[in-house]
């Protein structure tokens, strides 16, 4: 009886060990639904009417929504939005528009979304940011990524104002996620 | 003693010197030929002009100097190389700018001298801050370099300009807030922005049209 019990215990222990080893190779997904991240950039411009500079800060949000299917991350929705603020607030009329988004795994480009590919949607922007941007959503995007790869979302924004030199600025933001978590 | 040919060695050394010289000089050439440096140079020439501070016109009793007009003209011209910027275009922009500043004063939204000094201080520090400098701070530093002034000298006379700029910013914010307060909450961001810009541009047009302009 004791012998049979010990054997069973050994079997269970072996099974737990095997599961433990397997789980090392297949880490539990950590990617949360409604996962988004933001990055900001600051630039200076010369105000036409005075010849003196001022600063502008632009923030870019990227959201990835999907789920895990075994070893694959399926992204169903991709969204991008922008907000722009300057330190002096409302010095000039500003507008930041999404230009394009490129999604990579490592150095392999998996998808490119242009502004025309995105449908308008609204996003909650923290109250201390003035909303200026055009926002877009790609759905469905059916993007399958290997969760063990490092994935990047490279977003180019586009800014223009007639009141400043230079009139245009194209900030590029690189948002990185790995195994489902943002690394920013 | 072997007879060493000096010719090839000499050519090699001269070649190295030429390559080294180009490598040393080229960043300065690029810097001096940048658009912002060239703009700064033209602004610097305007400032150095003996009539730079001469008051050439008044907008609602706000003085406009010759260099203010000429500076705006060079900025507009460098941004629009394929178009000849006329004096009328420059004048209309200067009138609108000063009329908006005047309007901000009427509405009690004028920025204080202290606000202007604080902003100038912030700009000056941020340009040379190794951690928090704007991504393109080089552009502004090249521009300042082009004017022939040090960063300190450049910002020394900035208070009046920043006071006007910040006052207009206050006016714009006030108009935008007023428009937003009268709109339904569920309005789309872009539509709201469009209405806010329309309202501000309408005020700009009205005050510019109604401005009292004296040519001196």
Give residue-wise pLDDT tens across range A86-103.
655 677 777 778 889 999
Q: Using CA atoms, how far apart are residues B94 and B62, in angstroms rounded to an integer?
A: 11
The answer to whether the CB atoms of A165 and B166 lie below 8 A apart is no
Cross-chain CB nearest to A44 (options B76, B97, B140): B140
Residue among A1, A59, A60, A73 at smallest CA distance from A30:
A73
* Token pair 């000429």 in the structure block, residue: B70
Q: Residue A111's CB: how many other CB atoms inside 10 A?
A: 17
| Contact residues, chain B, for A165 at CB < 8 Å | 36, 39, 75, 78-79
Q: What is the pLDDT of residue A131?
A: 58
If you average pLDDT over each of A3-7, A37-41, B63-67, which comes out highest?
Answer: B63-67
Both tokens of residue B114?
């202290």
Q: Which of A57, A88, A94, A163 to mutate to test the interface with B (most CBs of B within 10 A)?
A: A88
| Contact residues, chain A, for B76 at CB < 8 Å | 48
Confidence label for A183 from pLDDT (cuts 50, 70 and 90): confident
Both tokens of residue A58?
């632009």
Question: Residues A9, A11, A13, A16: is their CA dihedral positive or negative?
Answer: negative
Low-confidence stretches of chain B (pLDDT < 50) are 1
Higher-scoring residue by pLDDT: A121, B102: B102
Q: What is the pLDDT of residue A88?
A: 56
Mean pLDDT of all residues in chain A? 77
Residue A5 has pLDDT above 50, yes or no: yes
| Contact residues, chain A, for B140 at CB < 8 Å | 44, 46, 53
Q: What is the pLDDT of residue A28?
A: 45
Residues B205, B206, B208, B210: what is their CA dihedral angle, to the nearest 10 degrees?
160
Residue A62 has pLDDT above 60, yes or no: yes
Residue of A nearest to B170 (CA): A90
Q: What is the pLDDT of residue B198?
A: 93
In this prediction, residues A42-56 reach a mean pLDDT of 91
ipTM of predicted complex: 0.84
Q: Which of B73, B125, B138, B139 to mutate to test the interface with A (most CBs of A within 10 A)?
A: B139
In this prediction, residues A81-88 reach a mean pLDDT of 71
Question: pTM, whole model, 2 decimals?
Answer: 0.78
Confidence label for A168 from pLDDT (cuts 50, 70 and 90): confident
Contact status, residue B13 vs residue B119, Cβ threshold 8 Å: no
| Contact residues, chain A, for B134 at CB < 8 Å | 42-44, 55
Q: What is the pLDDT of residue A130?
A: 61
The answer to whether the CB atoms of A134 and B170 lie below 8 A apart is no
Is A168's Cβ below 8 Å from some Cβ in B?
Answer: no
Q: What is the pLDDT of residue A47?
A: 93
Report the SS3 class of residue A34. coil
Confidence label for A30 from pLDDT (cuts 50, 70 and 90): very low
Confidence label for A160 from pLDDT (cuts 50, 70 and 90): confident
Q: What is the pLDDT of residue A27?
A: 47
Q: What is the pLDDT of residue B21?
A: 62
């Amino acid at each position: 009886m004791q012998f049979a019990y010990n054997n069973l215990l050994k079997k269970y222990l072996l099974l737990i060990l095997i599961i433990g080893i397997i789980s090392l190779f297949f880490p539990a997904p950590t990617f949360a639904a409604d996962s988004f991240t933001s990055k900001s950039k600051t630039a200076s411009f010369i105000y036409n009417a005075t010849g003196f500079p001022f600063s502008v800060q632009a923030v870019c949000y990227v959201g990835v929504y999907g789920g895990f299917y075994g070893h694959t991350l399926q992204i169903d929705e991709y969204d991008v939005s922008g907000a722009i603020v300057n330190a002096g607030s409302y010095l000039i009329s500003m507008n930041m528009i999404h230009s394009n988004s490129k999604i990579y795994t490592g150095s392999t480009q998996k998808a490119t979304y242009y502004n025309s590919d995105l449908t308008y949607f609204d996003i909650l922007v923290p109250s201390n940011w003035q909303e200026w941007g055009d926002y877009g959503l790609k759905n469905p995007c059916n993007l399958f990524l290997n969760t063990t790869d490092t994935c990047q979302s490279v977003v180019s924004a586009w800014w223009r104002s007639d009141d400043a030199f230079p009139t245009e600025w194209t900030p590029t933001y690189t948002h990185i996620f790995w195994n489902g978590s943002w690394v920013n | 003693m072997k007879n060493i040919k000096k010719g090839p060695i000499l050519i090699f050394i001269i070649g190295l010197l030429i390559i080294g010289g180009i490598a040393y000089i080229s960043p300065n050439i690029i810097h001096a030929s940048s658009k912002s440096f060239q703009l700064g140079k033209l602004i610097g020439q305007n400032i150095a002009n003996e009539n730079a501070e001469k008051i050439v016109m008044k907008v609602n009793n706000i003085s406009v100097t010759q260099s203010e007009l000429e500076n705006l003209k060079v900025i507009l011209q460098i941004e629009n190389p394929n178009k000849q910027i006329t004096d009328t275009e420059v004048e209309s922009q200067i009138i609108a700018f000063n009329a908006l500043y005047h309007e901000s004063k009427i509405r009690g939204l004028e920025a204080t001298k202290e606000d202007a000094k604080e902003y100038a201080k912030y700009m000056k520090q941020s340009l040379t801050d190794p951690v928090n400098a704007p991504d393109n701070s080089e552009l502004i530093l090249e521009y300042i370099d082009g004017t022939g002034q040090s960063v300190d000298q450049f910002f020394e006379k900035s208070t009046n300009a920043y006071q006007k700029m910040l006052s207009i910013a206050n006016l714009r914010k006030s108009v935008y807030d007023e428009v937003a307060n009268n709109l339904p909450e569920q309005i789309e961001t872009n539509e709201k922005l469009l209405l806010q810009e329309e309202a501000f541009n309408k005020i700009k047009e009205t005050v510019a049209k109604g401005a009292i302009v004296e040519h001196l």
